Amino acid sequence: MLFSQEHEEPRRVLQKFIASDINPHVEEWEKDGIFPAHELFKKLGDLGFLGLNKPVEYGGQGLDYSYALMMAEELGAINCGGVPMAIGVQTDMATPALAKFGSDELRKEFLAPSIAGDYVACIGVSEPSAGSDVAAIKTTARSDGDDYVISGGKMWITNGTQADWICLLCNTGDGPVHRNKSLICVPMKTKGVSIARKLDKMGMRSSDTAQIHFDEVRVPKRNRIGEEGKGFVYQMVQFQEERLWGAAACLKSHEKTIQDTIDYTRSRKAFGKPLLDNQVIHFRLAELQTEVELLRSLVYRAAEQLVAGEDVTHLATMAKLKAGRLGRELPDACLQFWGGMGFMNETLVTRSYRDSRLTSIGGGADEVMLGILCKAMGTLPGKA
């Protein structure tokens, strides 16, 4: 069993916190296009939720990954996608490599305050011309004595306008593209770091997303995570947690979309009877609920392997792919049953339709997931 009785108390605390400190503010944050990350993260840090599976010597709880997965699933009860995503960046996207491979000094400087909620973190991988193709990034950190001097830019950076530091993937050598990259912790207030613009997105409205420029940004080499040239490998490890997080975080959101649709179609009458009485509707909702449970089983199985210390690239990739596809299929199907109300921004099904679309793109597009799986299966041309 992935979860035990020990998971129930933190689950209850998190559910209570979402109900009292997040959901009442979601409409305002969606309208503003941003939420107060430092304020919210500090509260989560005080409750211990920003370091459930991080080392205790840096303020974490020292628990296994199942607790982080429990948190990701519960965040799906938030009435938007942007806030859960921002929290996930802090816990499962910007900090796993630092926790695993960073020096003690580096973890004290960046990981500990991120776990406490004193720092907001972001992850810098994608660029205007390099999204899912991570190997194609152009941002460069050239060596200059004991420092790196960074030039380039990053795109679609969640938490980017509020972050205190960025976990930055950049080229630190001229060798093969999979062995010339490093992950570097860069304070956002460093001279030469600038927010080019806050991006205007279709969905995830409450999450601030930025384009960031680096103009001859000087940082000490001690800010590098682990070994030079291992950044691509470290980022692939980080992607395992990111992709599992993305799949887990959509489960409760999808279930809520289904239940909201049941409630609406039960109360809405057409041609003298509730819409829900139409077989095409109640059969379709049953199919969608089954799809959610199938995804949950896949996510749990992958998490069990991760807890056991196994490589979960294969299952995490499958979970990410399935989550992306379901994130397009389920809200679209449910929205149709809402009729004209499904086209109104005041309904949560509409927000789910917009927010869920990102799952097929962020953290590696569906097509990249398929490529990874085909390579493992020996069916990718030239990669057998």
Residue 333 contacts residue 352 (beta carbons within 8 Å): no
The rounded distance, in Å, linking the Cα atoms of 323 and 316 is 10
Active site (annotated) includes residue 291: no
Residue 305's Cβ-count burial label (10 Å; 0-12, 13-18, 19+) is middle
The rounded distance, in Å, linking the Cα atoms of 196 and 215 is 12
The rounded distance, in Å, linking the Cα atoms of 84 and 78 is 7
Give the alpha-carbon dihedral of 208, 214, 215, 220, to 10 degrees: 130
Output the CA–CA distances (angstroms, integers) from residue 226 to 184, 229, 234, 314, in the order listed. 9, 9, 9, 25
Side-chain half-sphere exposure of 289, counting CA atoms within 13 A? 13
Determine which one of 228, 241, 242, 255 is catalytic. 242
- Encoded tokens for 308: 């056991």
For residue 353, give the nearest of 336, 322, 328, 324 by alpha carbon. 328
Amino acid at 345: N
Tokens 């840090």 map to which residue?
45
The residues assigned a catalytic role are: 242
